[in-house]
Every structure is written in C-alpha cells, then in structure tokens.
C-alpha cells in the first residue's frame, strides 16, 4: 500500500505532461516535421490502405490536427464555418458553428471555404474563421468558452483572401493578426479572450502566414509575415524589434509559409515573382536585430511550406520542382520535377502532396532525392491545397469536402 502514492503521482505527472502537449499547424514545432517512426518505405501502386474517409466537412483548405484519440478540422455547412471533432475511426463526435464562411469577391470568390487549422492547448481548442471570428472551446465537449472578432472587436481589416493564420499559443497568450493600422498584432488572454497587448508593428495589412515562436534566453519572439515584411515582435509586450522588407509585392503578397528558426537563423520563402524568394537571416543573440545572409529569388513558393533537415532546406517551387537548398549558401543542390504542392516530413521521408492531386513518397534526405511511390487522390472538391498531416502512423489528406485517413505504418 505504500506504493500507491508513488503510483498516483506518476499517473498525475503523465496526465499533466500529456495535457500540456500542443497540437497545431504543421506539427509540434510548426516546422512541417512529424515525430513519427516505423513508417512504410514504399507504398503499393494504388497507395496505402484507406482506413476511412468522410465527406461531411464541406468546403475548405484547412488541415486537421490530430491527438491520441481525436481529429479536429475546420469545414463548412451551408456557408457557415464549423469546427468538426471526429474520433480516430472517422465518427463525428460534435461540431461547432463559427460564423459565416469566407466566400470572397472578384478573383477571391474562386476560393471559398475554411483556411486555418485549429490549435489545441491543454484542454482547450482555439479556432479562427476566414472572416476573423476567434473562438475558444472545450476540446472534449465543444462547449464555447469565449469569442472575439478581429474585425469588429479588434479593429482589424480583412484582406483579399480572408484570414488564414492558424493561431499560435504561448503560455497564457493567444496571438492573432487583425491587420489594423493601430491594432496590427494582438495578444489575447487565452482564458478570457481579452487583449493583453496591442502592437502597431509596421501597420502593414495581414498576410496569410501562421506565425512561429523563437525562444531565446530572456526573450521570446513572435515571428510572422505581413503583406510586405517579415516581423520580429517581443512576445511579452508587442514591441516591434525588427522588420525585414519583402520586395515587389503584388496583390496581397504571397507570403503564406510559416518561417523556420534553427541554430540562430530565420529562414523564409515567399511566392512573389520578383521578391526575395528564399532567404536566410542571422538573428542576434538578444533577438533584437537581423542581418540577411543570403537570398535566392529563383526559389519561389507561395504556400506549400518547407522543411529544414540537417544542412538542407526542402521546398516545392513555383517552377514545378521540388528543390533542395544548401543552408550555408542558399544555392540549389538537388531537384525533382513535377512536384509543386505541399511538403511535410517524418521518419527520414518526405511527403509531397502536389497541386494536381498526387501524394508522393520521397527518399534520399541528405543525399539524392528519389520518388519511390505515388498515388492519385480521386475524391473531393476544388484545389489540392490542404497540407497533409501524419499522426499515430496514419496519413491524413484533406481534399475540399473529403478527409481521408491512410495507414502508412510499416
């Protein structure tokens, strides 16, 4: 009986540790790298086994987030944005209405539907609609805790293609980008939704970037893209520390990719025809300044994401190639054709979901790349823009109104 307190404490510790896990856009660190192991090294010609699919999620380009026992994904019903909660067998558990879905005007009307991924932190889940409505819900039940609106409550300004950021959580703060002149970037109390600080930043309109956090001794930096700048913001008080200008912005600026921080440097890739393209910035040890190390304007990636593994960056490019960049020089050291789309990595493998609907499995990280397997996604609607997700040995692919789960365990 003396061991019972020890057992209880261990169980409690396990609960607390699991309860602090963040499930979010592009994996645990927002870098497109998933901590999966023992995955298949090749697939059958028709693709891995389809475990299940559902066509209940409606229009959108949002990626899911997956926990040990649930899947959360934003979608649409009758032009109302919803958060759907499924179990791992694809059974709907609950859904929550989060206001009108983004429909757009002019050219943007070609891309209606949901944009961002949910963020789950502890026992609460945070979502942002394409129209800027932010909601905090209980992850188990879907019960609403609080709501705010970036346009109505935070004096924001909607851009041409709608709000696309997947909300970032750090400690007790939720960071969002209303894009207003005065309330450019805002930190909310994650328990109440009330503003903690408001930053003017550069007063630049919002882009489509989901931000990331750089943690340095004594300071944490919120790093994100606006319409014309890569920004470094003091996450504690909203102070603008630095801004690196993007060149030759057209339309709303094709700045959608979450930057990556590693080894004292920030990496970013945008899609503008004559902009910076891919570039590397050296970040000072105190986080207050940056210096450009290199740029490669010929590597342009609008919204497919990129991954940094070892001394290389792997990125789809607008010229329909998967390119490999040396992080020291920024030069292309390898490439594969016909691979424009979205990229993630897991278990020393690359997964590229192309704009024409093929899921590709690629080996050769650190050496010479080779597509070893591919299969076609033949169901779903509209463009193949949603980034895939890997969790518990399952590959999740969203194509418009269909979410699919494939078994890729070895």
**Rounded to an integer, what distance in angstroms lies between the CA atom of residue 114 and that of residue 153?**
21
Domain that holds residue 80: 62-114+116-207
State residue 255's pLDDT score: 82
- Going residue by residue through the chain, which has 410 residues, state the pLDDT in tens, using 9 for 90 and above: 444 444 444 444 443 334 458 999 999 999 999 999 999 999 999 999 999 999 999 999 999 999 999 999 999 999 999 999 999 999 999 999 999 999 999 999 999 999 999 999 999 999 999 999 999 999 999 999 999 999 999 999 998 999 999 999 999 999 999 999 999 999 999 999 999 999 999 999 999 999 999 999 999 999 999 988 999 999 999 999 999 997 655 555 568 999 999 999 999 999 866 667 999 999 999 999 999 999 998 999 989 999 999 999 999 999 999 999 999 999 999 999 999 999 999 999 999 999 999 999 999 999 999 999 999 999 999 999 999 999 999 999 999 999 999 999 99
Assigned domain for 271 exists: no
* CA quadruple 184, 190, 193, 195: dihedral, nearest 10: -40
Assigned domain for 169 exists: yes
Assigned domain for 175 exists: yes
**Rounded to an integer, what distance in angstroms lies between the CA atom of residue 112 and that of residue 358?**
22
State residue 246's pLDDT score: 79
Q: How far is CA 207 from CA 41, 163, 184, 237, 302, in A?
A: 37, 8, 11, 22, 12
Q: Kindly tell me the sign of the dihedral angle through the C-alpha atoms of 313, 384, 400, 111.
A: positive
Assigned domain for 16 exists: no
CB neighbour list of residue 88: distance below 8 Å, 6 or more residues apart: 66, 69, 70, 71, 392, 394, 405
Assigned domain for 383 exists: no
pTM higher than 0.85 for the full model?
A: yes
**Rounded to an integer, what distance in angstroms lies between the CA atom of residue 294 and that of residue 86?**
44
State residue 152's pLDDT score: 97
Q: How many independent structural domains does the chain possess? A: 1
Assigned domain for 88 exists: yes
* HEC secondary structure over the chain: CCCHHHHHHHHHHHHHHHHCCEECCCCCCCCCEECCCCECCCCCCCCCEEEEEECCCCCECCCCEECCCEEEEEEEECCEEEEEEEECCCCEEEEEEEEECCCCCHHHHHCCCECCCCEEECCEEEEECCCCEEEEEECCCCCEEEEEECCCCCCCCCCCCCCCCCCEEECCEEEECCCCCCCCEEEEECCCCCEEEEECCCCCCECCCCCEEEEECCEEEEEEEECCEEEEEECCCCCEEEEEECCCCCCCCCCCCCCEEECCEEEEECCCCCCCEEEEEEECCCCCCEEEEEEECCCCCCCCCCEEECCEEEEEECCCEEEEEECCCCCEEEEEECCCEEEEEECCEEEEEECCCEEEEEECCCCCCEEEEEEECCCCCCCCCCCCEEECCEEEEEECCEEEEEECEC
State residue 21's pLDDT score: 82
Assigned domain for 153 exists: yes
Identify the CATH number of the domain in which residue 89 sits: 2.40.128.630
Q: How far is CA 251 from CA 146, 181, 254, 293, 396, in A?
A: 34, 19, 8, 27, 32
Assigned domain for 17 exists: no
């Amino acid at each position: 009986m003396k061991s019972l307190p020890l057992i209880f404490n261990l169980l409690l510790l396990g609960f607390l540790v699991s309860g602090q896990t963040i499930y979010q856009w592009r994996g645990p660190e927002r870098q497109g790298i998933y901590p999966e192991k023992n995955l298949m090294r090749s697939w059958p010609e028709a693709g891995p086994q389809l475990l299940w699919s559902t066509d209940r999620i409606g229009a959108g380009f949002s990626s899911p987030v997956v926990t040990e026992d649930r899947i959360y994904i934003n979608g649409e019903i009758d032009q109302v944005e919803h958060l759907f909660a499924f179990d791992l067998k694809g059974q709907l558990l609950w859904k929550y209405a989060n206001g009108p879905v983004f429909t757009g005007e002019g050219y943007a009307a070609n891309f209606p539907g949901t944009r961002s991924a949910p963020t789950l932190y502890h026992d609460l889940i945070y979502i942002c609609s394409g129209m800027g409505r932010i909601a905090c819900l209980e992850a188990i039940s879907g019960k609403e805790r609080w709501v705010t609106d970036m346009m109505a409550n935070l004096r924001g300004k909607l851009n041409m293609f709608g709000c696309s950021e997947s909300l970032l959580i750090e400690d007790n703060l939720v960071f969002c980008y209303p894009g207003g002149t005065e309330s450019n970037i805002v930190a909310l109390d994650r328990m109440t939704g009330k503003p903690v600080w408001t930053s003017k930043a550069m007063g630049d309109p919002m882009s489509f970037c989901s931000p990331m956090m750089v943690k340095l001794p004594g300071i944490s930096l919120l790093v994100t893209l606006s319409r014309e700048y890569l920004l470094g913001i003091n996450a504690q008080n909203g102070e603008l520390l630095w801004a690196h200008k993007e060149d030759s912005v057209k339309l709303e600026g094709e700045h959608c990719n979450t930057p990556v921080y590693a080894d004292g440097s920030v990496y970013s890739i945008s899609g503008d025809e004559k902009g910076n393209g891919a570039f590397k910035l050296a970040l000072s040890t105190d986080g207050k300044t940056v210096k450009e190390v290199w740029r490669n304007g010929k590597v342009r990636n609008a919204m497919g994401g990129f991954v940094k593994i070892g001394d290389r960056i792997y990125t789809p490019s607008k010229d329909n190639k998967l390119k490999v960049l040396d992080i020291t020089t920024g030069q292309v050291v390898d490439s594969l054709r016909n691979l424009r789309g979205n990229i993630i990595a897991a278990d020393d493998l690359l997964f590229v979901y192309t704009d024409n609907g093929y899921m590709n499995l690629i080996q050769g990280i650190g050496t010479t790349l080779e597509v070893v397997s591919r299969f076609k996604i033949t169901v779903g609607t509209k463009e193949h823009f949603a980034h895939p997700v890997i969790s518990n040995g399952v590959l999740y692919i969203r194509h418009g109104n269909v979410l699919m789960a494939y078994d890729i365990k070895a």
